[in-house]
Amino acid sequence: MRIDDAKLKALISGAKKAGLNAYAPYSSYEVGAAVMTDEGKIYLGCNVENASFGLSVCAERVAIQNAISNGERRITAVAVATRDKDMPKPCGACLQVIAEFADESALIVTISENGAYDVRTLADYLPRPFKLGVD
């Protein structure tokens, strides 16, 4: 899938903005995410940690839950930004959740602290997502 520069810019700035709200007192690894729907709407999320670590949720899943709870069902791009010098990568759990609402050509945009970004597809990260009842 292709994305025009204005939409890419909006996604990147949305992910960075969302990261400012990250709740990461345990890891200090602050992450923001922005997802774009098939109609071009953008929804934001940040990571939300918990003292019971297993309850912590990644920014990507928070952004997707935000989109879904607003009635959206199709996602065409996900951007993830950190305030870390290294480029972030979505975790396996988030990739599987993205795959529930996006096809394999959906874009995954990762953004590091210095503003460098990388654009790949969901298939690059998760070529064979789990699908119930499908081989």
Catalytic residues: 60
Binding residue for Zn ion, selected from 1, 20, 91, 116, defined by CB under 5 A:
91
Smallest separation (angstroms) from Zn ion to the CB of 106: 15
Give DSSP secondary structure letters for 102-130. S-TT-EEEEE-TTS-EEEEEHHHH-SS--
60 vs 72, beta carbon nearer Zn ion: 60
Find the part of the chain contacting Zn ion (CB under 5 A) among 9-17, 22-30, 64-72, 89-97: 89-97
- The answer to whether residue 29 forms part of the interface with Zn ion (CB under 5 A) is no
**Torsional sign, CA 100, 106, 109, 110:** positive
Separation of alpha carbons 125 and 87, rounded Å: 14
Q: Choose between 9 and 91: whose C-beta lies nearer to Zn ion.
A: 91
